[in-house]
């Protein structure tokens, strides 16, 4: 492909990357819990995208047995992943480089059940309690069903 043919194609890719709505700045709130494929088979991964930071994640078992997450990470206003067309344009010399930040926080908590065989037998009776926000400010709680073990 010649350089002259490449310029119009790049312009079309740039326009296609700019098309669409502005919802990327305010992503919908989402919360999931599960076991990651290819990850640790005995660790529940809780992922949340929300305007409030995740402050605690607790696995609640039969008899109100409570197990806190052993790891909780929050990233405030992370950069939105680029589309394939945007990534290709970033490699083009002279093209402006721009990063889009999400108007939310991305949180990730890791919970390792104390006894994986007991969890596998009783996971239907367990749930995960999540608390978002800061004391004195906006706060909310979410309860998720415990994920099925792998």
Residue 51 lies in a domain: yes
* This prediction's pTM: 0.66
Percent of the chain with pLDDT over 90: 48
pLDDT digits (tens, 9 = 90+) for 10-44: 444 444 444 333 334 444 579 999 998 877 789 99
C-alpha–C-alpha distance, residues 78 and 80, integer Å: 6
Which strand (E) or helix (H) includes residue 145?
A: strand 139-145
pLDDT of residue 83: 66
pLDDT of residue 16: 41
Residue 56 lies in a domain: yes
C-alpha–C-alpha distance, residues 149 and 41, integer Å: 8
Residue 8 lies in a domain: no
C-alpha–C-alpha distance, residues 106 and 75, integer Å: 5
Residue 9 lies in a domain: no
Residue 46 lies in a domain: yes
Show the tokens assigned to 6.
């490449």
Number of domains in the chain: 1
pLDDT digits (tens, 9 = 90+) for 32-78: 999 988 777 899 999 999 989 999 999 999 889 999 999 999 988 65
Residue 130: how many CB atoms within 10 A of its CB? 22
Residue 31 lies in a domain: yes
Residue 76 lies in a domain: yes
Higher pLDDT, 135 or 36: 36
DSSP structure class, residue 8: H
pLDDT of residue 40: 78
pLDDT of residue 71: 96
pLDDT of residue 27: 46
Residue 35 lies in a domain: yes
Query: Which CATH number characterizes residue 35's domain?
Result: 2.60.40.10
- Domain limits for position 28: 22-80+102-145
């Amino acid at each position: 492909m010649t350089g002259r043919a490449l310029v119009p194609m790049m312009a079309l890719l740039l326009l296609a990357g700019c098309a669409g709505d502005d919802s990327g700045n305010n992503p919908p709130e989402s919360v999931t819990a599960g076991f990651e494929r290819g990850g640790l088979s005995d660790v529940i991964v809780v992922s949340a995208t929300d305007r409030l930071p995740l402050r605690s994640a607790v696995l609640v078992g039969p008899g109100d047995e409570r197990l806190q997450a052993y790891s909780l990470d929050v990233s405030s206003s992370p950069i939105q992943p680029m589309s394939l067309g945007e990534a290709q344009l970033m490699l083009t010399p002279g093209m402006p480089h721009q990063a889009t930040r999400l108007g939310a926080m991305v949180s990730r908590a890791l919970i390792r059940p104390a006894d994986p065989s007991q969890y596998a037998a009783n996971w239907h009776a367990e749930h995960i309690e999540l608390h978002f926000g800061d004391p004195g400010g906006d706060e909310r709680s979410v309860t998720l069903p415990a994920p099925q073990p792998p």
